[in-house]
Amino acid sequence: MTYAGTSVFRARLSTIAAFSAVLILAGCRGAGDESSTPAKGSATAASGAFRVALLTPGPVSDQAWNAGAFAGLNEIRDSLGARVSHIQTKTPAEFDENFRLYGEQGYSLVFGHGFEYQDAAERVAPAFPKTQYVTTSGTRTGANLGGLEFAFEDGAYLAGIIAGTATKTGTIGAIGGQEIPPVRRSFYAFEQGARSVNPSVKVITSYVGNWDDASAAKEQALAQIGRGADVIFQNADAAGLGIFQAARESKGARVIGANSNQNAVAPEVVLGSVVIDLPRAFVLVGREVQTGTYKPRVISLGTAANVVRLELNPALRGTIPAQALLAVDSVTKLFVAGTFKAPLPPATATRP
């Protein structure tokens, strides 16, 4: 993820050859109403139209983190009448370059979708005071820089309740793309949710090291399954597609998806998905910027705002023990009432 959380669009894989197709897609840039790369001096730069851009760290075909952000960009286009543009960036240098290009073009709002965009946004934003820069899973602010943070740990805790109750081996797993703070927080909450219903459960955690190597993620999933894990929570973007494939090939293995509703990716093995409603969050920010009421800040959205939720797969709901469903319903009500928060790792046990 990059979360957190925060790029709409991840595709189904069924063979090793399909992994290659996903990796090819990872090199492609998505496009909104405008060309993916803003051209200096174009006529639209001076048109005064409400224009919104999005940078994603991976392909919008991933049916997860990047796909959700792209859906959010398109919702801004459809709901607010914005002109939109999208670029997939691959290196930190491209973060700065494209933030600057959109600023030079006079874009009203630019999203950097992920924790990793914060440094670049902080460097570039002061040079373009008329452009609002927002980083998802970001906590830094400035005169025209804000953050959009998601309490993904809320949904991860609920996923842990499901996994801790549904496991038949007593061992569950978690696989992430990279070990960044939002992912670490979600995995900690997942483990604590599982232990709340199954104190003796064993949790195996590993990281792929990137967000797009589906083959490597598949190997990690098979390794965890070989060690007894029969429910795996994945938060690895396009790489996560390999985890679904591993579960398909392993009798009794189940997966919990992340960021977007991934229940249809492999409905025969997906128990549910921890969903971030990125379109809802993006439109909230876009409307404020369009109406001139936006004040740069960190906006935190979770279950209480109906932005983070656990969506169970109807095809496998009947296999989940009734006590787990009751516990999920009960804890969800506590989140909404504000009387309970998902536990965070001790070093990060504060929220903005």
- What per-residue confidence (pLDDT) applies to 112? 98
**Position 204 pLDDT exceeds 80:** yes
Residue 271 main-chain phi, psi, to 5 deg? -75, -35
Lowest pLDDT segment from 8-22, 89-103, 182-196, 234-248: 8-22
Per residue in 73-120, pLDDT tens? 999 999 999 999 999 999 999 999 999 999 999 999 999 999 999 999
3-state secondary structure of 172: strand
The domain in which residue 73 lies consists of: 16-151+278-305
134 & 159 share domain: no
Residue range 200-214: average pLDDT? 97
The amino acid present at 60, given as its one-letter code, is V
Within a 10 A sphere around the Cβ of 188, how many other Cβ atoms?
Answer: 24
156 & 145 share domain: no
- What per-residue confidence (pLDDT) applies to 350? 47
How would residue 23 be classed by pLDDT, with cut points 50, 70 and 90?
very low
147 & 262 share domain: no
116 & 31 share domain: yes
**Position 29 pLDDT exceeds 60:** no
The domain tally of the chain equals: 2
53 & 197 share domain: no
- C-alpha neighbours within 13 Å on the C-beta side of residue 159: 36
167 & 144 share domain: no
- What per-residue confidence (pLDDT) applies to 348? 52
Per residue in 258-294, pLDDT tens? 999 999 999 999 999 999 999 999 999 999 999 999 9
Residue range 309-338: average pLDDT? 97
25 & 91 share domain: yes
Nearby residues of 260 by Cβ (< 8 Å), 6 or more positions away: 8, 9, 10, 63, 64, 65, 67, 68, 71, 273, 275, 276, 278
Residue 5, domain member (yes or no): no
Mean pLDDT, the chain, integer: 88
Instruction: Provide the token pair at 338.
Output: 């504000």
270 & 298 share domain: no
Kindly report the pTM of this predicted structure.
0.82
Select from 270, 216, 275, 227 the least CA-distant residue to 247.
Answer: 270
Edge-first strand order for the sheet with 109-112 is 83-88, 51-56, 109-112, 132-136, 145-150, 298-301
89 & 232 share domain: no
How would residue 346 be classed by pLDDT, with cut points 50, 70 and 90?
confident
Q: Percentage of the chain surpassing pLDDT 70?
A: 85
Select from 238, 234, 236, 237 the least CA-distant residue to 269.
Answer: 234
- What per-residue confidence (pLDDT) applies to 15? 34
Residue range 33-38: average pLDDT? 42
186 & 271 share domain: yes
271 & 282 share domain: no
282 & 208 share domain: no
Looking up residue 220, the CATH number of its domain turns out to be 3.40.50.2300
* CA atoms of 274 and 24, how far apart (whole Å): 26
